[in-house]
Structure 1
Amino acid sequence: MSSRLLIQRRFAPLFWTQALGAFNDNLVRMVLLLLVWSVASQQDREYGWIPSLAAVVFLLPFLLLSSWGGMLGDRLDKQRLIRRLKLLELVIIGMASVAVWFESIVMLFVVLLLLGVQSALFEPVKYAILPQHLVPTELVNGNAWIGAGFFVAILAGTLLAESLMTLPEPWARLTVILALVGTASLGLMASFAVPPAPPRARIRVTWHPWRSTWEVLRQGVREKHLFPAMLGIAAFWFFGTCYLTLLPAWARNIVGGASSFSLLLTAFVLGVGGGALLCARFSAGRLELGLVPLGALLIGAASLYLASLAPLPGGMHELAILMGSGGFWQMLVGFALVGVGGGLYSVPLYTLIQVISREEQRARLISAANIINALLVAMALAYGIAMLVWLESGLRMFVASLGAMALIIGAGLLLRRPRPVLRLMIFALVHVIYRLRFHGRQHIPVRGAALVVCNHVSFMDALVLGGASPRPLRFLMDQPIYESPWLNWWFRIVGAIPVNSDRRDPGNVRRALNEVSHALRQGEVVMLFPEGRLTPDGEIQGFRRGLDMILARDPVPVVPAGLAGLWGSWTSHYGGRALTKLPRRFRARVALSFGEPLSAREARSALLETRVRKLKAEAEAWVTDRGKSPLAQS
């Protein structure tokens, strides 16, 4: 994946603004907990309920005020709103500094509540602003870096608080104050570099918290294509909260040793960040929903693996035995894999909400997701207490139950929608076979119906185009190939549309056109090869009238594409009929260039064929000489 976004003004200031804010939130929360534990040890009292209370205090504003953040994000310029919220954070951090200096636990709880208010207002804006500054093919990368930065900031804030609070007084308090104020100041400075993001609509803000929350939630439920994604993100926060809740008990009761909690937390948090970056790497600029069930299955498998490492009730694991047998390192790997699964699972869901939602209501829909997240976080806290305190089931059963839930979610998603996973696997295979380069994928509309037309070189063309497209493609194909006994199951799953000549099957063309028309009217993207057959000589053949028949029924935008690099492969007609020769090339260069969409009227003229030829020439330039094509910079 590309890290160029981290040095570009349209993304880098937002990245550092949100990361520094998350750092300060967790620094304050950890300092509060360490002060409480210090008082408890001095007074020989038990304050085990304080961490749960701190979590509830920080969580409460997300339930009540996230709707305000969404409404304000859709009403105001997001740049100005971010700056004002960072100014508010600096004021709150000033209060936190006073609380730390006087070691006032009550005042720190007030500060934590105010930071929760600021975060609840900031979160919807953070995700809603990304699509205004990034093109669709950059959104997965942007969300991956945001997620990785957020979780690394959580880790850094927690570990720094532990380190600073071990210093002798008054240096401990002084260094904590300097860290808080310095971080808030840097975050404010970064926010002033965020580019403008003006609103698309002037909406009315409902200031009654319960009424506004209900209004935003109702709006989210009405979005049938987005609500499942909101529930999926909430499940991610449920699992994340459960693991962050059980980590201290796991470190204390199973591993032992003062440093084990920090190591386990590091493994888990870096796993989440690494999983987010892996998601961007695997997605290659596309929205890969196939990673969602795979991430859930990885969470489930890693959780069951961790459960197998935990001792049965009544058993004892000494740290020395664990270290000697490799058990502790296996636990680190297990927690890291749970985190990786979470990163793979969550990033596509956040991107889906950004891509599908309309700009004038995007912040409100993200705030609805945050409200549901807060509800699931509260449920996770209650579930942890029920499992570990009331039912006394033990950590082994608790982790195993989380694994079972994740496996059920992953298997359910896989069975319900296998097409994205198959698409991902096929595209990964094509990436292994060829060196691929794409250009202009942003020209495929983010939403709504469209046709993609391309020159036809080999039997691999559909796989390359299907994997390159940011959106799933329905593609037309010859019926004899569609009915292949080895591949028919896959063609049916991916929604291929078979077509044959009326001479072989009277009425087949009409049925195929009806299926294409139905797909377009459902807002899908359909791909076809207007030549109607593989090229016999590597050159583009004349376009047939099937495209005109489709556009006469449904005048949708047409995206031209040019493909190069597959002529000469064993799946082309080069040197004899396709698929009758042995493969002679491996890791050959393959280039695919998309052009700007044409209207239905333009596409029904000779202009479309001219555009496809030009795009094919651009792709061939990269295949033959990397420096002569725009694909060299893509």
Structure 2
Amino acid sequence: MAHNQFELLRQRRFAPFFLTQALGAFNDNVYRQAIIGLLFWLEASDDQKTLYATLAPALFILPYFLFSSIAGQIAEKLEKSRVIRITTAMEIAIMSLAAVGFALQSLPVLLVALFCTGVQSTLFGPVKYSILPSVLKPEELTGGNGLVEMGTSVSILLGMLLGGSIFHLAGEYGPYAAGGAVVALAITGNLVSRLIPPAGASAPELRVRWNPLPESIAILRLTRKQLAVRNAVLGVSWFWFVGTVLTSVLPAYAETVLGGGATLYLFALAVFSIGTGIGSMLCEKLSARTVEIGLVPIGALGITAFLVHLYFGRPDAATAQGLDVAGFLAAPGGWRVALDLFGIGLSAGIFVVPLFALIQSRTPKAEMSRVIAGMNIQNALLIVLAAGATLGTQRLLGWSIPQLLLALAVANALVTLWIFSIVPEFAMRFVSWVLVRSLYRLRAKGIEANVPDEGPALIVCNHVSYMDALILAGAIPRPVRFVMYYRIFNIPVMRWIFRTAKAIPIAGAKEDPALMQRAFDEIDAALAEGELVGIFPEGALTKDGGIAAFKSGVEKILERRPVPVVPMALRGMWASMWSRRDGRLGRMRVPRRFRARVEVVAAPPVDGTTATADTLEAQVRALRGDAA
């Protein structure tokens, strides 16, 4: 198992797939930019350039509307590495046609090939993201998605650079060099794809339905089955909306606002793309290798903040023209603009990677490819809307590009607030992430090896502070339903967090027997649904830092449903905020040093048919040791 995302690049279960998808993104952009290069090389008329600029985006995006539903079903029914090999073989045929188009210098042939690349991308899209949960552990999902997004961003940038310069480098042999390059890249991608190990079909019995309209409606409904997944899909689509607006105005922005030309545009695109790649890779570190959707609001706020800062940095047209990169950076505000573009990309990466990981972790495997296909339909719709909004605001309303970017910042804030108001889990995880990361330095041991990747299990742990549930939730990759004393559950502010996290309040038999019975019924129902349930068998916070005797409630749970039990222990919490150590401050203690070091340690699962309160208590004591 990989202990960080970069180790995945050395493992066969991930590395060939990563290279295959990166080569695909690279080749697509080499091809599209090479067509533009051919038009300039031929000194094409303005009508021909306008025809390409109008038709090319439509031809590439149309297959997502027509064939996504079929692509999702195929990716569900067939073994995933086989689907990838099929699509990369298609790429060889398509790029061979494109090579003929370059040799003949025929724009119609090149446009037909461009449509075919859209078909191939449509077929590849569902398997690109649905294969990751099949080859990665839950704790690797965020890092794996971060690498994929980084690889895609860098590949797009490098592809545009190579495609845009190939005619300049090859001179009179430009058409043949362009055709040879795209075919060679397609062949390379197919050869690498043959190294991808089998990943299994998620729904081999699925009957493929070929009518795109009813099946598109059906898979869009699949994306809406779970509220969190539905809004994560919406968040990904909004990411594409923002990205489309930014990248479509960036060439004109570089010329009219920054005072440069093609070179400065490429520099601005590179800064944005590098920021997106770095933000994507940072997610694993920021999330502590869990699916941490609390990062999504951070990314959303960052996008808005940097867009607003960018607007006030350059609200008007440039006074100088023809600046190169050095001249632009030397001009007043040049570094500020570069920092803002980098910050927008960084925030976008932090925003989108946890959304992909959430979709993959919460969607049933037998439906995942179709959910991704439904997301691609929605993405395509938002891309079209973004292009229309960009043209409409500029041509009909007369907005300048800085005004458009400011409007995008406001729209981004409103859309994200709307998403988070519909699904409070995003905001709840954000608040809990801020609390845990600001108050503690968290280290986990044994979580990956001992907490089951799927299926029901009971987590038992010592109880030291009011933050225990949030800390455990931040260390365990899967969602956990925590059972907690109702008085803790009802603490102001924390109550909203616990309720949103679907915690289960419980009371003693003498305090509220009805609440206690409801709690046991809800615990059993959660385990029956294959969820993780976390309990603190001591029944109360420790008063002296030690571990009290475990109550018999854990045995009552296991009598009804003998699931595996994972003993866990919190170390270092007694010297932290919100323990009972300091009586002078009531139940709150100011830590001796800022951000106390805390460890979460897990032992191998215990058979639920043999586990008792006494044996589990002994294991938790041994795990905790002297590190109270």
Q: TM tier, shorter chain?
A: 0.7 to 0.9
Match of 1:80 in 2: 82
After superposition, where does 1:590-605 map in structure 2 within 5 Å? 590-598=598-606, 600-604=608-612
1:172-211 map, 5 Å: 172-201=174-203, 202-211=205-214
Match of 1:423 among 400, 418, 432: 432
Q: Find the aligned partners of 1:80 and 1:481 in 2 and give their Cα distance.
A: 52
Partners in 1 of 2:243 and 2:78 — Cα distance? 32
1:466 and 2:473 matched = yes
- Percent of aligned positions that are identical: 36
Q: 1:438 corresponds to which residue?
A: 445
Secondary structure, in 3 states, of the residue corresponding to 1:358? coil
Aligned-residue offset at 1:205: 1.1
Q: Which moved more, 1:267-276 or 1:447-456?
A: 447-456
Q: Distance in 1 between matches of 2:496 and 2:201?
A: 46
The 1-side partners of 2:577 and 2:260 are apart by 60
Kindly provide the CA deviation profile for residues 428-453 of structure 1, in whole angstroms up to 9, marking residues without a partner as x. Answer: 124xx435133224654566765321
Measured in 2, the distance between the counterparts of 1:440 and 1:469 equals 7
Q: SS in structure 1 opposite 2:196? A: coil
CA–CA separation in structure 2 for the residues paired with 1:75 and 1:615: 45
Match of 2:352 in 1: 346
Tell me the distance in 1 between the aligned counterparts of 2:290 and 2:46: 56
Q: 1:53-202 alignment to 2 at 5 Å?
A: 53-201=55-203, 202=205
- 1:451-500 Cα offsets, whole Å, 9 max, x none, are 32112355654343132122444544456656667966766666666656
Alignment of 1:16-415 (within 5 A): 16-39=19-42, 41=43, 43=45, 47-48=49-50, 50-201=52-203, 202-258=205-261, 259-312=263-316, 316=319, 318=321, 323-415=329-421
Q: Secondary structure at the match of 2:416?
A: helix
* Structure 2: gaps spanning 5 or more residues: none
Look up the match of 1:629: none
Say if 1:590 and 1:337 are closer, same or farther in 2 by CA, change over 3 A.
same
Distance 2:315 2:9 in 1: 44
Cα distance in 1 between the residues matched to 2:200 and 2:141: 19
State whether residues 137 and 442 of structure 1, in contact with CA within 8 Å, keep that contact through their aligned partners in structure 2: no
> 2:49 aligns to what SS in structure 1?
coil
Q: Secondary structure at the match of 1:559?
A: strand
| TM-score with structure 1 setting the length | 0.87
RMSD of the alignment, in Å? 3.3
Q: What's the offset of the Cα at 1:51? A: 2.6
Task: Report the Cα distance in structure 2 between the residues aligned to 1:246 and 1:219, rounded to whole angstroms.
Answer: 34
SS in 1 for 2:361: helix
Deviations 1:186-210, CA, capped at 9 Å, x for gaps: 2112111101012143211122333
Q: Structure 2 vs 1, CA of residues 380 and 52 (structure 1 numbering), >3 Å: closer, same or farther?
A: farther
Segment of structure 1 superposing worse, 250-259 or 465-474: 465-474
Instruction: Give, in whole Å, the separation in 2 of the partners of 1:203 and 1:496.
Output: 36
Q: For each residue in 1:287-340, what CA deviation from the matched residue of structure 2 results, as whole angstroms up to 9, or x when unmatched? A: 11112222222212222222223444x774546696454323322222222222
CA spacing shift, 1:502–1:131, aligned 2, 3 Å: closer
Task: For residue 604 of structure 1, report the CA deviation from its aligned partner.
Answer: 4.6
Residue 203 of structure 1 aligns to a residue in which SS? Answer: coil
Code of the aligned partner of 1:187: G
Distance 2:139 2:569 in 1: 19
Q: Distance in 2 between matches of 1:475 and 1:59?
A: 45
Q: Is 2:548 the counterpart of 1:546?
A: no
- For the residue of structure 1 that corresponds to 2:534, the secondary structure is strand
Which moves more between the two structures, 208-217 or 76-85? 208-217
Deviation at 1:15, TM superposition (A): 0.2
Which shows bigger deviation, 570-579 or 108-117? 570-579
> By how many angstroms is 1:581 displaced?
7.2
Using the alignment, how far apart are the partners of 1:486 and 1:72 within structure 2?
46
Asked if the contact 1:517–1:553 (Cα under 8 Å) also holds between the matched residues in 2, the reply is no
CA shift, 1:540, in A, is: 4.4
CA distance in structure 2 between the aligned counterparts of 1:420 and 1:326, rounded to whole angstroms: 40
TM-score, normalising length from structure 2? 0.87
Distance 1:326 1:495 in 2: 52
Per the TM alignment, residue 48 of structure 1 is displaced from its structure 2 partner at its CA by 3.8
CA distance in structure 2 between the aligned counterparts of 1:171 and 1:301, rounded to whole angstroms:
47
Once residues 41 and 208 of structure 2 are traced to their aligned partners in structure 1, the CA distance between those partners, rounded to angstroms, is: 44
Which segment drifts farther, 245-254 or 202-211?
202-211
* Pair 1:459–1:215, CA change in 2 (3 A): closer
Q: Secondary structure at the match of 1:561?
A: strand
Secondary structure at 1:359 match in 2:
coil
Residues 316, 587 of structure 1: CA spacing in aligned structure 2 closer, same or farther, 3 A cutoff? Answer: closer
User: Does the C-alpha gap of structure 1 residues 215 and 594 become closer, same or farther in structure 2, counting only changes over 3 Å?
Assistant: same
Cα distance in 1 for residues equivalent to 2:592 and 2:313: 48
Contact 2:485 2:506 in 1 (8 A): yes
Corresponding residue for residue 529 of structure 1? 536
Q: 1:591 is matched by which residue type in structure 2?
A: E
CA distance in 2, matches of 1:588, 1:43: 67
Structure 1 range deviating more: 561-570 or 189-198: 561-570
TM superposition shift of 1:360:
1.8
Corresponding residue for residue 7 of structure 1: 10
Q: Deviations over 1:365-389 (max 9, x none)?
A: 1111111111111111111121222
Q: Which runs of 5+ in 1 are unaligned?
A: 625-634
CA contact (8 A) 1:454 1:530 kept: yes
**In 1, are the aligned partners of 2:506 and 2:516 still within 8 Å (CA)?**
yes
Q: Distance in 2 between matches of 1:557 and 1:181?
A: 53
The residue that corresponds to 2:616 in the other structure is 608
Q: Per-residue displacement from partner, 1:28-77 (whole Å, max 9, x unpaired)?
A: 011112223444x5546573453342111111111111222211111111
Q: Which secondary structure does the structure 2 equivalent of 1:360 belong to?
A: coil
Matched residue count: 613
CA distance in 1, matches of 2:33, 2:602: 50
Shift of 1:602: 3.8
CA deviation after TM superposition for structure 1 residue 13, in Å: 0.5
Mapped partners of 1:26, 1:100: distance in 2:
15
